[in-house]
Structure 1
């Protein structure tokens, strides 16, 4: 069975990454796009010449030849259009964050269960072999007892017109990239934070542009730096009492740099494993297709997305001193 996909909205990210990934993924086919902009549609037709273009989102959801939709709309629209797509009988892969509050994900879980369709957040890193290998190492005790996690994800985007800098569209650094550092910590360790111990947020025009956050988990501590006003940097490090695991290019593999897992061992020993060819966007689409077709558990269910959003909610609450 080939899963037939439609995309709601002609975003730059969908054109550059997810559209080509859907087109290239095994047992998936990109067949339709919804956009009112003929100019934007040209960018998709360049790699998918037979693409059917709908002028509005509802028309795409009414298309009987579409099995699943990918939603790259502004953050504040994710919940409503995911619900509409599920009601239209479509499976849904929605960009992160799939909601702006954890309680809204409860509505998505309920609708998913009611319809029996797959709805998930596009958290692609959990499908990358770099992350799968790092988690295997951690669980196998390669660094002994985990004591601390350090995460950094920054880039510089001061463009006031960009949706990431617009509060009314759900912008802000935490929603855009904090979701990676926090969620990756939860996914790697299988633990939820006991407490947010520090949350120092800097705002511009109603959106957070710098977030210095610390938390306490069962058995270890964590600290993350996220910013949309700094030089691009990204890394995740898991430090134990017998070694450390460091991931390079953990969030934009082959764009920011080569995806590697470094195992730092006693006496300055170092083992490096490289993953130069993996495309986590394609792997994510293929995993989604297998889940729909074969019932294989999806690597990032809505319950995982809810856990990260609950953490984000707690960070904002802590920062406001509520």
Structure 2
């Protein structure tokens, strides 16, 4: 390794072009060096933005590139586990777009391969690297809202007009819960440190084999949880953590800087609201920088595979409850 992490991207996804490619390029401790895709049009598009990129016509060719240390994988969901394992076998650190797997037990093979190789592997769950979530967790841990009783959240958008969207394709692992439920569920686990005991309600609407609306209630050891995720609603996102002494409200908890400015509100007695804003933070860059420092220096990573497996376990519980 040349004193920094040399990155390659497996698959020229739109999200990689718009967000993660620029983040890999901008993050300290690393550089974006190569991309693999069979599409000449996509190669040309990437090279227009990143003229220095080496282009590989196959994923295997990129994995064989000796000048690549780590790969980012934004392939369709059902391909994540396969190519994460191939990347680790090729000696590459790997950052896989969420959801990394379609079932919690599928994480086990990647965890085992990570441990056997000593390489770093993680799901691209970027929100825990954003200082708004670290601040909100600090408020919670300090007891600023007292005993937590209720968590409420919503994450919605409408992609009904985008009929070619892979999120609408069941064969590729589509669906609203895998795409955005992972945020609503995972952020609650991150902030509270608790795991769900039971999904008490899972009311899902389906279209062509994928969930497009999910209203989910769950019981955690010390609080109740309720969230809505939908690919058929007006775009909105918000999380509220409601305790005996106060309430934490987050206005752009998931797409900070894209959906809107990240703000954390602490609601106290007598209608007092203390607000902290995070106007200029790129959570994708912060995620890559954290990954780079783990690879280079062994720094603790905020989102290990074991954490991501726990979120997938809750997703599995939601689908199981929906069947009953």
- TM-score (norm. length: structure 2): 0.98
Q: State whether residues 143 and 240 of structure 1, in contact with CA within 8 Å, keep that contact through their aligned partners in structure 2.
A: yes
2:189 is equivalent to residue 186 of structure 1: yes
- Residues paired across the two proteins, number: 321
Counterpart secondary structure, 2:49: coil
Per the TM alignment, residue 17 of structure 1 is displaced from its structure 2 partner at its CA by 0.2
2:295 is equivalent to residue 269 of structure 1: no
2:242 is equivalent to residue 206 of structure 1: no
Q: Which residue of 2 aligns with 1:218?
A: 221
Q: State whether residues 160 and 166 of structure 1, in contact with CA within 8 Å, keep that contact through their aligned partners in structure 2.
A: no
Counterpart secondary structure, 2:114: helix
- TM-score (norm. length: structure 1): 0.99
Per the TM alignment, residue 160 of structure 1 is displaced from its structure 2 partner at its CA by 2.5
Structure 2 distance, partners of 1:5, 1:83, is: 17
Gaps of 5+ in 1: none
Per the TM alignment, residue 297 of structure 1 is displaced from its structure 2 partner at its CA by 1.2
Q: Which residue of 1 aligns with 2:316?
A: 313
1:75-105 deviations in whole A, cap 9, x for unaligned? 0000000000000000000000000000100
Structure 1 distance, partners of 2:183, 2:274, is: 25
Q: Which residue of 1 aligns with 2:34?
A: 32
Per the TM alignment, residue 45 of structure 1 is displaced from its structure 2 partner at its CA by 1.6
Structure 1 distance, partners of 2:104, 2:258, is: 30
Counterpart secondary structure, 2:234: strand
Q: Which residue of 2 aligns with 1:234?
A: 237
Structure 2 distance, partners of 1:15, 1:160, is: 20
Structure 1 distance, partners of 2:280, 2:97, is: 23
Per the TM alignment, residue 46 of structure 1 is displaced from its structure 2 partner at its CA by 2.5
Q: State whether residues 101 and 310 of structure 1, in contact with CA within 8 Å, keep that contact through their aligned partners in structure 2.
A: yes
**Where in structure 2 are the equivalents of 1:276-295 lying within 5 Å?**
276-295=279-298
Per the TM alignment, residue 43 of structure 1 is displaced from its structure 2 partner at its CA by 2.3
Structure 1 distance, partners of 2:222, 2:84, is: 37
Structure 2 distance, partners of 1:280, 1:6, is: 19
Structure 2 distance, partners of 1:81, 1:88, is: 10
Runs of 4+ in 1 over 2 A off after TM superposition: none
Q: Which residue of 2 aligns with 1:165?
A: 168
Per the TM alignment, residue 161 of structure 1 is displaced from its structure 2 partner at its CA by 1.5
